[in-house]
Structure 1
């Protein structure tokens, strides 16, 4: 009985989260949409899972069929993560599987939209920005400041710039959703008696040294093709450079937690330093130094 009531509670939570997409809380609730589905799939067999999810989808279809489309889009990475949890795969492997599935779905949708419906992402972004400019232009023109919104050429440039960073936004968005999902699901499953591998502690975070070479090459290409018409190279570098910087920030955070662990510092110190590293991006240079020099070994030796 308790088991059935738990499944019912998660199905209700799943329904409410999907319905929240029509509210102003969509930005927040989107991060948690996969949680109920992952928990249900990880704790139920396939038949039980279908019987639990099906009524939710039927209710969504009655209210608005678009909810089913969104639910179908998010159910696939949820099933992937749930499957990985059942296999007790490493935490990082589970999150990567979920993030890659999310990104793959988005790219597949773009491909199908382009192939079947001649969907042009650039035209869509241009139309949205142009409509936003038109809506804001009328009240601003009354004060004689219409020029601050730019003209059609500015909208065109902004559209191209937006499309250039879509891969980075896609990677970051997928990673954020899967990290939030894992951070919530794992403790829940652990409380239900499912022993799952933990993510490595922050002090053990290390990225490959080869990332430094990738960063150098990407930076040189970015400078070399700055005024070039080669949009493909620019798109790669414009996404790869900030993504690698984020990796260096993670390396820096790992170093802070390593030093705090070795020196028996209060946990508030590495947390505060990590926040500073995020707010002040140039501090990621510490992560590069940690990669190229045996800094951690020096810290361990000085402790002894």
Structure 2
């Protein structure tokens, strides 16, 4: 009975979170919307999951049919992350699955907006840069302490280019943040329901699949194709793929650093400091590429013997 009441409670929480999208609270609650779906899917058989979720979706549809769109949007990563937890896979795999699915959904939404509604992300960001430039110029003109300072057209162009260049990082960071929040809240919730969830592996055990090398080459080819394309969606996908794979290489590099310092019996703080260096000086991700392509860790282990 306790288990049943707990899952019903999570259904109510799911309903309240979806209804909160109609209020200003959506700025905060949107980051929690994946959690109930993951908890319900991981703790119930599929039929029981449907019994809990379908009434919620029906109530939402009666309240505002357009709320079904975000409900389904966040339900997809919930199902896939829940599947990872059900299989007993690692927490790292759950995080990567959640991040990848949310990022893919963001790109699909951008694709639909581009080809269905004629939305041009690059032009939109340039327009926003122009609006920001006008505000800055008004501030400069109205401030007697800043005589002779002007915001030029070149400054506006540079701002627009910078904003476009930051799009992939914003998409990746948003996706990763959603996955991290979901995992952080889901793990204790599932533990309270007696559903085992594996802890995050130590950093020294972080290893990504070797196939990432091929994805990297594919992303480079896709970037070449995007350079000759006028489609803002193709360009957005292109500029998102490489930073995402670069982030994976950075994770691999940090894992290798922790493995190496652990094998040399160094203090953990050294690994942390070196990891910060990798995050600041990102070309060091080449260490992660080499670690993926060649058996560096096995060589270090053999040399110790």
TM-score by length of 1: 0.70
Aligned to 2:178: 177
Asked if 1:101 corresponds to 2:101, the answer is: yes
Match of 1:36?
36
- Kept in 2, the 8 Å contact 1:186–1:196? The answer is yes
Q: 1:116 to 1:131 in 2, by over 3 A?
A: same
* 2:103–2:172 Cα contact (<8 Å) kept: yes
Q: 1:40 to 1:150 in 2, by over 3 A?
A: farther
Equivalent runs, 1:79-158 vs 2, <5 Å: 79-88=79-88, 91=91, 94-143=94-143, 148-151=150-153, 154-156=155-157, 158=159
Matched, 1:166 2:167: yes
How far, CA to CA, are the matches of 2:108 and 2:148 in structure 1?
A: 40
> 1:10-49 CA distances to partner (integer Å, 9 max, x unpaired)?
34554358738725x93x6544331122112322423432
Q: In structure 2, the residue corresponding to 1:22 is in which secondary structure?
A: coil
CA distance in structure 2 between the aligned counterparts of 1:131 and 1:268, rounded to whole angstroms: 45
CA distance in 2, matches of 1:229, 1:249: 29
Q: CA deviation at 1:77?
A: 1.8
1:46 alignment partner, one of 32, 49, 73? 49
Question: Using the alignment, how far apart are the partners of 1:167 and 1:8 within structure 2?
Answer: 38
Matched, 1:278 2:289: no
Q: How many residues align?
A: 292
Asked if 1 retains the 8 angstrom alpha-carbon contact of 2:60 and 2:68, the reply is: yes
Q: SS state of the match for residue 194, structure 1?
A: coil
Equivalent residue number for residue 258 of structure 2: 257
Is the 8 Å Cα contact of residues 261 and 270 (structure 2) preserved in structure 1?
A: yes
Of the three residues 51, 57, 63, the one matched with 2:60 is: 57
Query: Post-superposition shift, 1:115?
Result: 3.4
| Kept in 2: contact 1:90–1:197 (CA 8 A) | yes
Structure 1 pair 118/187, CA: closer, same or farther in 2 (3 Å)?
Answer: same
User: 1:133–1:149: 8 Å Cα contact kept in structure 2?
Assistant: yes
Contact persistence 2:213–2:289 (CA under 8 A) = no
Tell me if structure 1 keeps the 8 A contact 2:204–2:262: yes
Q: Which runs of 5+ in 1 are unaligned?
A: none
Deviations 1:59-82 (A, max 9, x none): 9x47xx876543442222223322
CA RMSD, Structure 1 to Structure 2 (Å): 4.4
Provide the C-alpha distance between the structure 1 equivalents of 2:155 and 2:228, rounded to a whole number of angstroms: 17
CA-CA distance at 1:99 after TM superposition: 3.4
Separation (CA, whole Å) in 2 of partners of 1:164 and 1:231: 16
Q: Please state how far the C-alpha of 1:253 moved relative to its aligned partner.
A: 1.3
Unpaired stretches in structure 2, ≥5 consecutive residues: none
1:224-263 paired onto structure 2 within 5 Å: 239=240, 242-263=243-264
Change (3 A) 1:83 1:211: closer
Point out which structure has higher relative CO (alpha carbons under 8 A, 6+ apart).
Answer: 2
- Describe the shift of the 1:272–1:66 C-alpha distance in structure 2 as closer, same or farther (beyond 3 A): farther
